[in-house]
Each structure stands twice: as C-alpha cells, then as structure tokens.
Structure 1
C-alpha cells in the first residue's frame, strides 16, 4: 500500500524553532529549527513508514488572500532572522534527501498541501516521463495548523504535533467529529462564522464557537444558515445579517485551494534517499552526529566518521602526521582540544580543528578532495568568520578555519588567527614536525568565544602540567 507524507514546512520549522533551545553550527550559525525538523521527520518515517514524501513551503510574495483582504495575517510579526536563514538550510537538506519541495508564489503552503493531497488520490496523475498512471492509497499531512482539518477524508489524515516536536495526534474523520462536533469539511463554514484570530479575519461579529456549532448542527452549512434566517432567533439573526459580507469573505479566506497550478510528480515523491552522500556531508558540516547515525544505512565512510567521536591521542597523532606530510609547504597549525591533547593535556577530543592562512586553507579542497565533506570557502556568522571547510581524514572529522576571527561583545573582530610564526609552537610526532597553537592563545580564544568551562579546564590542566615539570 502506498502512503504519502505531506509536510507543512513553515509550520513545522516554526514549531521546531520555538521548541528547541538555541543550537549553532561550529561556525556560529543557528541550526536548532533544522535539527528539530529533521528529528521529527525521522521519527515520522520510522513510525508511519511512508512510501512517498513531499514538503510544502510558503513563499515570501503576497498571497491572493492578502490581495482579497488587506488585514489578512497583518498582525503577525516578521519571521525571526535566525529562523529565515534556517529555511534556506532546510531546503538544502531536503534536496540532499531527494524529497521534493513544492511552493508557489501567490499561494500558501496549505494550498499546495490541499492540491497535492487531492491530485494524488486521483488515478489520472501521471508520473513524470512515464505513461503509467499512479495514485496514492493513503495521505498523512503533518502540520500545526487546524485549517488543514478541512482536507481530512477517509483517505487523508492529519498528524498534528501536540507537545514540541516529539508528541502528536493523528486525526481522521471520526476524531474531528468527536473534537469539534462537525464533519471535517465544515471547518470552512465554522471559520466563516467565528473567524480566525491567527489569520486575522473576524468572521461574524458576536458569533462564538458554541453558537456556530449549534447553527451548523441544525443547518449544516453557512449557505444553508443564510437561507433559513427566519428560523433563527432574532438576536443571532441580526448578527448574521449584519455580518453577511464578512462571513462570505471569511469563507473564501478559510477555503484551502485544491487546484493550484503545480506539476505533481508521484514517482519523484517515492525516490527519497535519507542516506545520500550529499545528506551525509551536510550532517557532518552541521555537526549532527546523532542524527547522522540514524541516516547512514550501511554507508561505511559515514559510519566511521560518526563512530570516531571520542578520539584517543593516537587518533589525533595519525591525522596530524597525514596533515604535516600533505601540507608541508603550507602555513597551518592544529588548534583546539586536539592541540591540547598533543601538548599533553587531558582533554576530550571529538574532532580536529586547523588554522591556516588563506592560501593553505583553500588548497585543501584539491589536496584532500577525496576526503572533502564541505568545500573550504569564506564563511561569516554572528560571532565567527574564516575560510571554513570540513574533511574526514582517517575516519576523523577535520575542520579548517583559515584566517579565523572571533567577534567580541562590542562587535569588534579579533586579529586573524592564521598560524603565523608568533602563534604557534612546533612539536614532533614520530619524527614529523607538526605545528600547534600556543596554549595561551587557546585560553584567549576560549574566553572570547564564551567557552568558560573549556577555559577553566585548560587552566587547570596547564597548572597540573607545570607542577609536574617541577618535580
């Protein structure tokens, strides 16, 4: 049996953004909404076992609803900039997963969801480049918007998150009847009477949920209510008469369009691949180690990269030797916790950080092409900027930060950390000369980055090392 999961991209990103604490990539870019969306997606796939997937997003352009009613959603604040940047990242993740994304200027994601749900239930939808007709047996729409309940049928259900991103409820026809006391399609009639505060249209002034449900139970539809005004008590009848125009407008605004001009490709919805190499590279670049383990599905390179989390000194030394040999003509040094371990401190190490001048940083794209996860290029976030890239060398994540800078609380950028002679010391590993950053610089940058736990641990380890050298 074929099952399509349709996801309301904006609704779930917004929920994940507010449900999770702030998370950033190593370069300082916000990533919590992307993490939450993926975590929820993987959970849904595990629980519901879909054969097909697609995600719908809103577009920034004005919609036809805003054209019809200037106050539509006018009270909503602008999307937080820290969420806007993550929408773009989420598009990239979905592309890596080979999950098709649908959006259309002038329409909301709801309209795309409605159109795809309707079209995929019909046998006249053709797969692109194929003559055979395809259809979906069951569709589940994932959203936090109750407007979507109007789309529920025997073959279309709605999964509605309840607590954060981990818990939700699956709504069918009977569930809507039980909770609202009317059929799913009557959600449109209901909204036309009571309005929708989140979308900022009023419905009929003075008509609340209890009155609206009573009217719908007796007369079935908004249209039939207005055909039988003479059978309605005078006080309520007056409100309905005075609010007729807004009721009609609200009905139109509440109606999800199911005829958006968009090409639906069912076959493409069924070709998703969570464990693609592109997805693995993105997860590594974002630092999604736990999520990476859930999508590797037999990819040995990714498994090794995911498994080598708690590095031993010998792991760091092996990679350091490779770097020293291949970058022998470049200007680079090992920094961070890997550097501290090489200098005899007892620190936990998950990956290896490098600093370098611009030329050496960029040269890694060619020298370590086979180990490349994320191409080295200039990257600037709120607190950091550098020529940033990622590699997996001997199963260890290596992050290049060429000409690395940190911004202080006053918005001033630090001097560039580029492995110049005054920043490094030289150590020997199995006869190979390896440059590492000075420990006082490590402490300075830990303080500048606000990593005070790390700073205190470094100080303690340095003190212990100095005491040991006295005896």
Structure 2
C-alpha cells in the first residue's frame, strides 16, 4: 500500500454477525433478548479497527428479501437451515451497534451484501488515494482482491483468528488469481450456496483446469479446437472429465454467473466526510453497551478508545510536522511575526494547533489565523 494512502474498511456485516452467532455461546440480557452475536460483533469491530487502523469504515448488509440470484435459480442457498429467530433479531439490532460507532451502513434491494461491497470497490478502483480492506467471515469476497489495492481480512476460526489476503496470498492458496474464483466455483460448485457446478468435478480437477486454461469460456473454446484431446490428456485430464465438461457447459457457465459478485448494485455510495476517529463518540458506544449489557466489554472499550485516540493524535502530529507545518509558516505574514513582542516558536504553533483540533475536530489543518483567533 502507498504510504500516505487512506484506508477504507468494508464490513461484510451479515457474514461477520453470522460467524459471531455460531462462534459464541448464547448470551441473554436481563430482558431475555439474545445478545451473543452483538457482543461478538462489537468485539470484532474493535479488533478490526485496532488491527487495520482504518481511516474510514462502512458496513454492508444483506436484506431479508430474495435477490436476483434467487430469481434466476430458485434453489439458490436452498440447502441452508432456516435462520434462527435469535439471529434475525440480532441482525436487526446490529445496526444500532454500527450507528453508535459512527459507521454508515449500505444495502440494496435484490442484491446481497457481497454485491454492495463489489459495487463500492468498483467505484473506488481508480482512486489512487484509497486502499480497501474487506472484512468478512467467509471467502466469497476474495474474488474482489486486486493486488494490494483491495485485500480481504477474514476469519479463520471463531472471531479472533484472522488472516489478511492480498493477491499473492490467494495465488499461494489456490494457484490462480482472485478474479478466477467464480470460474473455479463454476466447475467445482459451492455447496454452502447450493451452486451445483459440474457434478463429478472436484477441487483438484477444477484447479487443474483453471490453472491451465483460465476462464470457463476459454476451456470450452479449447474443447472446440481440432484434436483438442491431445492437449487435455497432456494435462492429465481424463476422458471422463472431458465428457463431463461437454455435457455440462450450460451448468458451468450458469454456476459461474451465480458465484460472480456484481459490481452494479444500486448503491449511492459516498466516502464519509470525517474519518472514523474524527466522528467517534465514546458516549454513544457506552450507551449502546449499557443497553445490551456488555459489562465485560467496558474495560476493553476504554483501552481501545484511549489507544485509538492516541494513535490518531500521533498521526495528526506527524502531519503537522510536514506539509501542514510548512503551510503554517507560509501563511505567517512577515510583519505578524517580526512585530510580535513574543515571537511564536514552531513548537508552540504545533501545540496550539493540536489544542485547537481537540477543541474543534473539524479544523484538521489550522491556519495561523485560526490559531491566533483561538488564542484570543
């Protein structure tokens, strides 16, 4: 990542909350409401902010209505058990957690959270000043990874064991680039979403085909070339697999379509005007923790908040020490300083700048006029 780039963290909210729900024991408030997934979400959110130090955070949601994938294939995700009422309630209440942390939420009717994530990534793909980290509880979003511009921070086990994937790590794991993951699923299928792929083609064969041919479309292009058998057999692809490919072209291409994240969801996305810490309000978080009775998280919240504010202040001071400090010097008129009975030292300027920012966080790059006005 470029050194001075801003970092946007996109949260796959549904996946994270779902993981937290199944990873933690059931907690009940004194009102009898389930809160375990909300506790896990709050804990995970603080960990994500601590680990990734984002400038901006945005949460993306699934909606309960059916999506375009269900319309195209009525068996999409059909194998999944009915969502527990306790999880449904916590999914609804989770938006209160994000609101307390000052994290905006996005969703789109007829689309999944992954499509909302993909659309936001696409909107920012050409922005050289923003790097993106997608925080998710599953692997579906890995197809969006792009070099180190777009990475995926995902859970390995529970809610504390995490890994950060960039393009190199995806290649190391699968043997091909992230953009080919929908093709891989198109061949192998994805039981968790009930995407059928080609029955009889497993992980090893699918990997072999993708590594050597790339896309599903290219595989079928090669199958139509004269004497194609020689090329396929040279790669260790059996007659049985060749026949499976021939018999299931439509299924493979359709499965790829289902697996591919859309980048055209109707999302009116805007990067937040303030960074996370500029917008952070400890009192709001304390209030929501009190509401859900997260007593054991209060000590951690205090430490998290203090460390985060210190880190943010250190970053602000670093910025003041370079371009911003230079701008203060440039803005100072000669007669303002020369005629002063007590010339202002650079150190005092810096201290006053920080004090002004603490009083009014909207003023992140104060001019000399701002400082003098504040001092008076």
Q: Which of 277, 287, 292 is equivalent to 1:281?
A: 287
Aligned to 1:173: 167
Q: Which segments of 5 or more consecutive residues in structure 1 lack a partner in the other structure?
A: 124-134, 299-471
Query: 1:274: Cα distance to partner?
Result: 4.2
Secondary structure class of the residue paired with 2:272? helix
Specify the alignment match of 1:107 in structure 2.
Answer: 111
- Higher helix residue share: 2
Other-structure match for 1:244: 249
Task: Determine the structure 1 residue equivalent to 2:138.
Answer: 145
Indicate the residue corresponding to 2:12 in structure 1: 8
Distance 1:136 1:283 in 2: 34
**For 1:77, which of 77, 81, 95 is the aligned residue?**
81
Instruction: Name the counterpart of 1:270.
Output: 275
Deviations 1:73-110 (A, max 9, x none): 01111211011111121101111222011111100111
Partner SS for 2:152: strand
> Within the alignment, does 1:26 sit opposite 2:26 as a pair?
no
Structure 1 residue matching 2:90: 3-state secondary structure: helix
TM-score by length of 2: 0.73
**Where in structure 2 are the equivalents of 1:221-370 lying within 5 Å?**
221-229=215-223, 230-231=228-229, 232=232, 233-268=238-273, 270-271=275-276, 273-295=279-301, 297=305
- CA distance in structure 2 between the partners assigned to 1:20 and 1:139 by the alignment: 28
TM-aligned CA deviation for residue 117 of structure 1: 1.6
For residue 192 of structure 1, what is the aligned residue in structure 2?
186
Q: Secondary structure at the match of 1:267?
A: coil
1:457 — aligned with what?
none
Q: Tell me, what secondary structure is at the counterpart of 1:29?
A: coil
* CA distance, structure 2, for counterparts of residue 184 and residue 9 of structure 1: 21
C-alpha distance in structure 1 between counterparts of 2:299 and 2:69, whole Å: 43
Do 2:138 and 2:155's aligned partners in 1 also have CA atoms closer than 8 Å? no
SS in 2 for 1:228: helix
In structure 2, runs of 5+ residues without a counterpart are 233-237, 307-376
Q: Which TM-score applies when normalising by structure 1?
A: 0.59
Larger Rg, first or second structure (1 or 2): 1
With CA pairs under 8 Å and 6+ residues apart, which has the higher RCO, 1 or 2?
2
Matched, 1:121 2:125: yes
Name the CA shift for 1:268/1:95 in 2 (closer, same or farther; >3 Å).
farther
**1:58 alignment partner in structure 2:** 62
Match of 1:205 in 2: 199
CA contact (8 A) 1:275 1:295 kept: no
Contact 1:189–1:221 under 8 Å retained in 2: yes
CA RMSD of aligned residues (A): 1.7
